[in-house]
Chain A
């Protein structure tokens, strides 16, 4: 593994460094000289599910992310750490194009998901977000019952049919839905707490339960990648450790990218860690042990040891 702050550094070997440029729309200065294949030789990792290359994000004139390149391996936990305002959430939102929803945001560069640029024209956002799910910093359940929350995605996608017309046509998928709800809630470690009140409003749950509900809701759509933005920031230690266990559990089946402010948390749960520092730069990206025990950059060492925030 190696740090990937700038284009030149990316040439050093390693499995998860940024992949090459794809098309001219995203091309930046120096990298134009190399062909895509040359880049691949160096940097394409077989198990990378997401590879970000030369990503720049602007909010109006504000340059929020600068030349970010990194590969995110499949079925692992990738932690994003860094001081407040350094662009972690912005980066996360780029991965499933939730930034499109912010009017002032402008994105340059490529994000490849399974080898396809998600920023190319004709990307089906609905499909993309089905596959790359997201859990937000603050729990945001719908003002509906727990069951309706979980089943919301599959119902809207037409994977599950409910309602009067469906029942008239004999296509009511109540059992499937029940199974799905139970399975998702179990995965999110919430089933035991709520199985007797699935029809109660989700807003009546505690903050930690709501957050796990949001995770369950995301799992019900069966995504491949789950993006989590400080999922435990508003929770007490018990709920936090539940979420941490959950993330480790999820990494067996899913690719998890998680933003956190908590160094211990990042050290405990993640396989690799990316350190962003103020100004929207990715300073170092490597295996978690390496980042925390023997980082290359002095700034990163200062940051993870708490000398610099």
Chain B
């Protein structure tokens, strides 16, 4: 081996030194977790464990770590192992250790009562230690100060000088430091330092060692961020789930329809790609898919059993009722899925003129049905009293397609075979919409579609009856959904339009730069200011009372700048080559924007919507001003049902009004705030339930947006 290199090129196996360092890192990590666990009561601190107070074990671990770290330093210094320490541990380590010791000694001095003098001494000691760290070789400089801290703190805890019961009241700080805080905090600090040093030692100090240490710290931070997220969700879930699920009853038929969805999707995938394919991660993911499929099939079997044998299953407060009615919503979902399947299978295209004619006819029929359904949904039921038109039309269409389907198997037919299936599915969707819109059931021989289905979810389906008798959050939930939807519908087109204008049409000028600054400013404007603006400006112009519409507009204003910013960035990052290519093909600017620029920018736009919706959905302050409904309203805002479309001879000929939009209402964060400020102890669980539903609503918006972003990305890449 050449003398010029300090370390050999290839190191076989791991040395004892590396094993000890790795153990230090591992133990530090466990100690770190355990110390955090004590704050949540998951890990005992003051209790007796095997004859000793748990805190003493923390002390023992710290002492052990201290010895190990010191040993790592000494072993490297005396050259027992091949390491490559620098001449100095570096400025960062020196400052960190100096501060650490300054604070530790300062607090100790304060605790034993030498106060100011003690602090001066501590300062001197800290500076001295920093200097010593700086001038001593890296292996000593980065281990000894840490080892000293670990040993000192550990000894305090082991010896019982600091116990969970001890509480040090500092008059100088006007604060009390109980042992239950001091011990975990010191352990966390010690564990971080020990782990850092261990990671450095593991790579033999020097550049590689520092890199290793830095990686460890960075991964700890990442871990921390993720665990905070998980903790937050888990915490709310744990507190709220019992309230939310109370007395939930699901019809087995409905559940079956819901379960059928993933089963169909997953089986299609499995069929297409084979159950288990590929190697490595491919195989893993196909196993996972297979596992999901198996779970869903089992679920479906269980539900089918309950359904067939008419027994009800219950788990906790959730009950599965056997029932033959299929809810309107699941029916919609299932039909939608089947529709997708049918479309995917639609490889046979219409070839001859006659086939095309039939296909066109079918499409016209479907379009007519859908139009009818939309009219029913938003305007009024179609038909004369006693004779509902839509069900009859649906039945007729369904019958014809059934006959056509059967006929297609009997003989050669002048249309693609999938056509009648498609038409049938559309017909069922339309029937479901009809039920939703009119509330009349459509059923044949007991099996059919009824309004609301057979899911009874008290927490989500009931209004609260005021403090103390709260069962549900439906009005607030719908309030939030309507407000967020309205804000998105209002803000997104405006923002995208403005972004198109600013990036594609406006020249880069003082004006556009001014708009940019204004947008950024608007985005950072406090929400309560938006609320005040809404109260003073929007409310007087729309019915002179706080309302859903006003809230939609105000939250829309809040959403606008973010979507504008992200849309602009996304459009700017669409390569100019696309625009040139399109222009060179003789395509006008507007068409280019519509078919190249906006699709390519779509994922960015949706990212903006995701972030923005997350913010506005939880907004409370402006709603206090512009929504300001009863805290616990008795009914949900009937936005869909109170659309009123009239036709007149005066412009604009069609008059649309929706009184529900102009009424006050409640929203989830608003209600949550009310529950908390009411200060009634028993309401706490209701609050957590509300918070969980709020999280659920936000996450569903999030999921929809992420899915659509994936869709647009796929379209750009596939």
User: Which residues of A are in contact with B by a Cβ distance under 8 Å?
Assistant: 96, 98, 101, 103, 125-131, 133-134, 136, 138, 140-145, 152-153, 156-157, 167-168, 170, 174, 200-201, 203, 214, 217-218, 221
A140-B577, A201-B717 are known contacts. Are A133 and B585 too (CB-CB below 8 A)? yes
B712 to chain A minimum Cβ distance, whole angstroms, is 11
**Interface presence of B587 (CB below 8 A):** yes
- Known pairs A129-B586, A167-B363; list 16 more (Cβ under 8 Å): A96-B584, A98-B580, A103-B507, A125-B586, A129-B583, A133-B584, A136-B584, A140-B578, A140-B580, A143-B600, A143-B716, A152-B585, A156-B587, A168-B363, A201-B716, A214-B581
A3 to chain B minimum Cβ distance, whole angstroms, is 30
A201 touches B718 (CB 8 A): yes
Sample of 5 A–B contacts (CB below 8 Å)? A129-B584, A152-B582, A156-B587, A156-B591, A201-B716
A217 touches B585 (CB 8 A): yes
Which of B356, B364, B586 lies in contact with A168, CB distance below 8 A? B364
Q: In terms of DSSP, what is the predominant structure of the interface of chain B?
A: helix
| Interface residues in B, total, Cβ within 8 A | 28
Residue of A nearest to B364 (CB): A168
In the bound assembly, the distance between CA atoms of A143 and B599 in angstroms comes to 9
Which of B363, B367, B578, B584 lies in contact with A134, CB distance below 8 A? B584
**Interface presence of B595 (CB below 8 A):** yes
Instruction: Give the A-B pair count, Cβ closer than 8 A.
Output: 83
Chain A residue numbers with a CB within 8 Å of B587 are: 126, 152-153, 156-157
Which of A98, A143, A168 lies in contact with B584, CB distance below 8 A? A98
A143 touches B585 (CB 8 A): no
**Interface presence of B176 (CB below 8 A):** no
Chain B residue numbers with a CB within 8 Å of A217 are: 581, 585
A130 touches B600 (CB 8 A): no
A128 to chain B minimum Cβ distance, whole angstroms, is 7
A138 touches B577 (CB 8 A): yes
A170 touches B356 (CB 8 A): yes
Residue of B nearest to A149 (CB): B581
In the bound assembly, the distance between CA atoms of A128 and B588 in angstroms comes to 11
B585 touches A98 (CB 8 A): no
In the bound assembly, the distance between CA atoms of A27 and B362 in angstroms comes to 64
B676-718 to A contact mask, C-beta < 8 Å, 1/0:
0000000000000000000000000000000000000001111
Chain B residue numbers with a CB within 8 Å of A138 are: 577
In the bound assembly, the distance between CA atoms of A144 and B580 in angstroms comes to 16
B410 to chain A minimum Cβ distance, whole angstroms, is 27
Chain A residue numbers with a CB within 8 Å of B584 are: 96, 98, 129, 133-134, 136, 218
**Interface presence of B642 (CB below 8 A):** no
In the bound assembly, the distance between CA atoms of A203 and B578 in angstroms comes to 12
B640 to chain A minimum Cβ distance, whole angstroms, is 25
B583 touches A170 (CB 8 A): no
B318 to chain A minimum Cβ distance, whole angstroms, is 42
Chain A residue numbers with a CB within 8 Å of B591 are: 156
Chain B residue numbers with a CB within 8 Å of A167 are: 360, 363
Chain A residue numbers with a CB within 8 Å of B595 are: 152, 156
In the bound assembly, the distance between CA atoms of A140 and B585 in angstroms comes to 12
B588 touches A126 (CB 8 A): yes
In the bound assembly, the distance between CA atoms of A96 and B583 in angstroms comes to 10
Chain A residue numbers with a CB within 8 Å of B211 are: none
Which of B585, B600, B717 lies in contact with A153, CB distance below 8 A? B585
